[in-house]
Amino acid sequence: MMKKFFKYTGIFFIAILTLFLILFAAYYFNRAIPIWKAESKAGSSPEILRVDGLEFRDLNKNGLLDPYEDYRLPVEERVENLLSQMTLEEKAGLFYHTFIFPGKDGELAGAMNPFNIQPVQDGLFNKHMHFYNLYNTPPGVEAARWLNRIQKLAEQTRLGIPVTFSSDPRHTAMEEGAAVGVHTVGFSHWTEPIGFAAIADTAFIRKFGEIAAREYRAIGIHSALHPMVDLATEPRWGRISGTFGEDAGLSAALGAAYIRGFQGDSLTSSSVATMTKHFPGGGPQKDGWDAHFWYGKDQAYPGNNFDYHLSPFIAAIEANTAQMMPYYGVPVGQTSEDVAFAFNREILTDLLRDELNYDGIVCTDWGVINSMTLFGFEVMKHRGFGVDHLTAKERTLKAIHAGVDQFGGEATPHHIVELVRSGELSEERVDESVHRLLRQKFQLGLFDNPFVDIDEAEESLATEEALSLGYESQLRSQVLLSNREIDGDALLPLPVDKLSLYLEGLNPEAAKKFAFIVDNPQDADVIILNLQPPHDPGYGTIMGIEIFREGRLYYTEDELKPVMDLIRSKPTIITTYLERPAILTEIVEEAGAVLVNFGTTDEAIFDILFGRFNPQGKLPFDMPSNWESVLNQYEDVPFDLEDPLFRFGFGLSY
């Protein structure tokens, strides 16, 4: 009887709590984000003005052709004219560049605002924000229609300033498990950036940039929050798969070609502006812990090797990268003040602006100013960065004085308005950044036509050439580490239609055209195991969601034992996604063959294993032979592992 009482009491309590949360959410969202008020501020769409036989968009709806609306004039003249018409609030809004999520079925984003996500209506009309980072998108042309709707809404703001849409990498071939980037339906699919380092072909990566830019612009994306030209000198760091490896010269060459592919020789209406990151090098994280998290805020330079990490960014500047992103990390001992790059005037002004003569946009990494909130409650405190003693408004001021033009992942323009009105920040300094931000919009052609043609989008996405080259990148980037002889012959390539296979971690449908698939390893001629990368679970997470794999590079005894048991039972091939330089010593010593990849489909793996393509990729970093050597190496020094298992540039062929 008592058990039943507690059971139904518990159910009743949960029901009441759920109802309370629903009512609270409805109250909070209607109170916190008055979308009706935002929509009430919307004006009319611009009329078309006809002057000298030409057509112009009357963006400010005054019936006159203003200089900023006249595409015949130089960009600088158009920028200055628009700047002169802007209010302080409108200028402040351009400093903010945050996430946007689509509503259901491609509708405009709704009112819910977890994780500081900014509803576009509120951002455009209440906060005057015209830069948005796409997190997820509908597939293909559905995304184009959605982004066109937002541009149509932006036309109705007072001055008709178009929206710049940005994105992290979207061309990964991996539908799940990619350490960086998003698998986007409707795009061509390629290896991860580290895979391009394994290919080491500047012409090929530039071609990728051209294709990726065409697909971005086809759906309405104008800004790439990449490339990462950080150096993978610290093997434990969880973001290595987004880099071009350990060698500064190779990273500089690939990064520059990547930028030229996306942008062309100069920014035009067909370019995608690149945001090179993370200036001046985010690779040397202390003990490999990432600076997204409070425990990884420090960058370490025990080898006094700061300039080595800077060199790929110099190449990026020479390639005219349009934007630069400083990292979260604190460069301990490298400047007079131990504060993160985003707040460090010696880094952003003395070095980047004055010494390197960079005049592009400087945008912070996401969320350096405010704590993270969920439903209005603080769920992640501000992570420090050496400025945790300052208020959010004081951090804003310090970053702007350091040289920042824009704040990623933030939506608090009232801070800038208050700083100017209080006399702590000059409007002239605000104008300096706004000038850069507007200039890029004009260079990208957004003021003249921010919309995409849906029919052209369908023709531009995932063309036969793009699909073919994307798959080629998956093949060319794989690295064959070992290929033992069995009965006098190398195990690989496997013969077609002659073997029974037992698979773990790979799609059997992709292998059926080559061999017979069995359910029991004892019935197989060959075993193929695809291993997940080793890491310390529980690290690299935000609210329990794992975003980077960090910590150990070795497999534990419990993880390794079933693998080694299979290896010792039958000829066994090991494949794995090498997102970091994993310790594979025991596996390499006993497995029949080891093939590693840097982001690929299962189909591309089987095409290598069965000889349809001869492996040709080369390692883009040294691979450690033991954990002690990892603990003894310096975070900022390349190629300093003791007795590495494989050296940079290693790779076998058939």
Residues that are catalytic: 365
d(C-alpha 565, C-alpha 504), whole Å: 14
In three-state secondary structure terms, 352 is helix
Measured CA distances, 273 to 152, 195, 222 (Å): 22, 22, 6
* Strand pairing category for 164-167 and 223-224: parallel
In three-state secondary structure terms, 498 is coil
Handedness of CA 604, 610, 612, 613 (dihedral sign): positive
d(C-alpha 548, C-alpha 536), whole Å: 10
Nearest C-alpha neighbor of 143 from the set 84, 181, 172, 103: 103
Nearest C-alpha neighbor of 413 from the set 45, 37, 86: 86
Which two structure tokens, joined as six digits, stand for 97? Answer: 């560049």
Classify residue 151 as exposed, middle or buried by CB count within 10 Å of its CB (0-12, 13-18, 19+).
middle
Which two structure tokens, joined as six digits, stand for 553? Answer: 């590079």
Check if the beta carbon of residue 256 is closer than 8 Å to that of residue 314.
Answer: no
Check if the beta carbon of residue 410 is closer than 8 Å to that of residue 369.
Answer: yes
Tokens 């709590």 belong to which residue?
17
For residue 47, the 8-state DSSP code is P
- Per the document, the length of the chain is 654
Check if the beta carbon of residue 355 is closer than 8 Å to that of residue 347.
Answer: no
CA contacts within 13 A on the Cβ side of 215: 26
Q: 541-550 long-range contacts, Cβ below 8 Å, gap at least 24?
A: 542/292, 542/372, 542/380, 543/374, 543/379, 543/380, 547/292, 548/179, 548/238, 548/239, 548/290, 548/292, 549/179, 549/238, 549/579, 549/580, 550/236, 550/237, 550/238, 550/288, 550/289, 550/290
Residue 246 CB contacts under 8 Å (≥ 6 apart), including other chains: 231, 232, 233, 620, 621, 622, 638, 639, 648
Classify residue 311 as exposed, middle or buried by CB count within 10 Å of its CB (0-12, 13-18, 19+).
middle
Tell me how many helices (H) and strands (E) the chain has.
21, 24
Nearest C-alpha neighbor of 646 from the set 251, 283, 246, 289: 246
